[in-house]
Structure 1
């Protein structure tokens, strides 16, 4: 941790002082344009969020349930998991496309595949066709999702990088909100278009990206790595300094990028997958990245993300309209909390937010578990509603860190040479943990044995009260054990985060990487940054002297 002081000092003396504070960023046309392109990249995450919420909503739509003959058990698990299985199949290829062809090209390829897949999904006339389309959506999403956050963090204005990258995963909830309220709105359509319309809208973000991705700037770090330094400098200057290539901030960024990439190349001329674990610094990175990936899906949130209907059924809330409303309101709540947390990440700090998040989840998941157990034993409707209430409180703490920070933190602690491959490992771990949740660690059948049938009878106007006397004691025990396991796991998460997560706020990407690689690299980067800053100061002084001399000559 000795490197931290060196980096922090250099950061304070050189980097922060070069930021233009003369006017707000929203009064700078080129920064506005840059942030507009960043929003275009962020909607990649919305496509993923749309899918999860759409599948939750479709399970509450009688039209979808009837059309596909009430999928349940393993088939329902496959329908939910197949998108992530598609992601897993694409991961071996995505880093080579991202590093070889560029960030923008990878996003274009992914968006094109997803657009074709959503067309197939919308036209599905069998469950197998629907599953195949969802596989393709996941396959295409991998290319776009592997490149978009990297491009965001590599082109963002330095003082806005943390917030911009944190917004990537936060926009998951934006897509989720659109899907939740779309399925709620199409609920009354008495035909298969009740589920085909939500399926069709899933392709809208990809369509927008295909038309506009050509105007997004390519990563300056990728350009430097490919030997296109002139273009990289021009990109940095255009968006970060209104085209001034001699701006001190641009010079600092450009020289720091070149130095960091040169150091990476000297350490490993041929960067392969083994580079992720070759050095102690990289092993520390991968330990944190893999842990955060699994924590993000194994903290209990998976039960709600894809099985909210079954959770509602299990606490006596079986009306499809009510379930769709809960889904829609929960996503709006999550989005609001995640946006606020993402904007505060540089003020509050990553480490503090992770600690508060895990401790809060542990406390309120425990309370939720107690309420769930009481409802299973006594069937008190008030206790059942309390379970839903504590789900909201639990998500408040989940959204403080595990929505906005897991992507931004993983990307910023990786040096350029292994950033694409390391982020693919992160995404692979997320997808693998989701597939495990959906296919193996599924929420058990409803504690109300007629809940699935109620969805079908609701469509034809028949209503039947659930008979709790027929409830399987084995299902009750399984559900209680399932939620209890997460209590123990959340306690482990809190301890891990406290010990291993390192604070990275207010540092450049290169300076953050130096935290893990020791004092030597930190000193090299800091020393080089100091030299650039000093040279800029000398140029300014020389310019001032020339101006004074010129004025003197004019007066003479």
Structure 2
């Protein structure tokens, strides 16, 4: 059941457009930090559910894992229902529908400090969206036509995307997360409360350092940050591997 759940959730995760929506409605001077902090908030959810599991660990055997599983389903659903009425529609979506004035209102409200739709920057942003969509229409191909990914223009970008995604998944976090319990058992830590406590303690630094990273996004060049992160990951992962022998 859990394997099937992870399989189908993968499709849902691929369709999530939260970061794109945040990028479109955030002011330019805050965009990097807000999108970065969005990533840090994943750890808040992890901390919350781990804390719930610690609090419910004394329940009967089936209930101690069923109730957290229900919470993981119900709480996000409640949050989605609540914020649905607060989140503005993407200005790009309004442009696609031909509602230029409505798009300008959204851009003015969330991209500027004056909320004036006549501000020059509002027209610039909306015009850029129109030009981008027009270019997409001009270069339109069938949804299933993947030849676009192998054109000279896209080939290098696709390579960078694939390699960076692989490196990002090889950061060591997955190993710690998936094999935490057997790793702890090999060193004699077999109590459920102890294991959950260590899991909670290891998640907190994730949030702390991800939040710090989100504040640095706009302080340095993107290329510098990417290479600094990759080199740091390689150094610390190598050190972890050596010291674990």
Which TM-score tier does this pair reach, normalised by the shorter chain? Answer: 0.7 to 0.9
Per-residue CA distance 1:125-159 (angstroms, 9 max, x = gap): xxxxxxxxxxxxxxx4444x2x2222111111111
Of 202, 205, 213, which aligns to 1:330? Answer: 202
- 2:7 corresponds to: 85
| Contact 2:167/2:230 (8 A) holds in 1 | no
Of 66, 69, 79, which aligns to 1:199? Answer: 69
Distance 1:175 1:372, change over 3 A: same
Distance 1:281 1:342, change over 3 A: farther
- 1:234 corresponds to: 105
Of 368, 373, 395, which aligns to 2:240? Answer: 368
Structure 2 residue 223 is matched with structure 1 residue 351: yes
Q: How does 1:516-555 map to 2 (within 5 A)?
A: none
Q: How does 1:45-194 map to 2 (within 5 A)?
A: 79=2, 81-88=3-10, 90=11, 140-143=12-15, 145=16, 147-194=17-64
Q: Compute the displacement of 1:369 (Å).
A: 1.8
- 1:33 corresponds to: none
| Contact 1:180/1:328 (8 A) holds in 2 | yes
Q: Compute the displacement of 1:278 (Å).
A: 4.7
Distance 1:290 1:148, change over 3 A: same
- 2:82 corresponds to: 211
- 1:261 corresponds to: 133
> TM-score under structure 2 normalisation?
0.87
- What SS class does the counterpart of residue 82 from structure 2 fall into? helix
Distance 1:330 1:220, change over 3 A: same
- What SS class does the counterpart of residue 348 from structure 1 fall into? coil
Of 88, 91, 97, which aligns to 1:220? Answer: 91
Measured on the aligned residues, the alpha-carbon RMSD in Å equals 2.3
> TM-score under structure 1 normalisation?
0.41
Stretches (4+) displaced over 6 A: none
For residues 269 and 141 of structure 1, the distance between their equivalents in structure 2, rounded to whole angstroms, comes to 25
Per-residue CA distance 1:388-438 (angstroms, 9 max, x = gap): xxxxxxxxxxxxxxxxxxxxxxxxxxxxxxxxxxxxxxxxxxxxxxxxxxx
Q: Compute the displacement of 1:176 (Å).
A: 0.9
- What SS class does the counterpart of residue 244 from structure 1 fall into? coil
Per-residue CA distance 1:349-374 (angstroms, 9 max, x = gap): 3322222222222222222222221x
- What SS class does the counterpart of residue 291 from structure 1 fall into? helix
Q: Compute the displacement of 1:85 (Å).
A: 1.2
Q: Compute the displacement of 1:313 (Å).
A: 1.8
Structure 2 residue 211 is matched with structure 1 residue 339: yes
| Contact 1:174/1:335 (8 A) holds in 2 | yes
Distance 1:209 1:178, change over 3 A: same
| Contact 2:25/2:111 (8 A) holds in 1 | no
| Contact 2:171/2:237 (8 A) holds in 1 | no
| Contact 1:303/1:311 (8 A) holds in 2 | no
Rg: which structure is higher? 1
Of 176, 185, 188, which aligns to 1:304? Answer: 176
| Contact 2:184/2:190 (8 A) holds in 1 | yes
Q: Compute the displacement of 1:254 (Å).
A: 1.6
Structure 1 runs not aligned, ≥5 long: 1-77, 91-139, 374-556
| Contact 1:221/1:257 (8 A) holds in 2 | yes
For residues 155 and 300 of structure 1, the distance between their equivalents in structure 2, rounded to whole angstroms, comes to 33
| Contact 1:233/1:245 (8 A) holds in 2 | yes
| Contact 2:58/2:64 (8 A) holds in 1 | yes
For residues 88 and 33 of structure 2, the distance between their equivalents in structure 1, rounded to whole angstroms, comes to 19
Distance 1:354 1:313, change over 3 A: farther
- What SS class does the counterpart of residue 346 from structure 1 fall into? coil
Q: Aligned residue pairs: how many?
A: 242
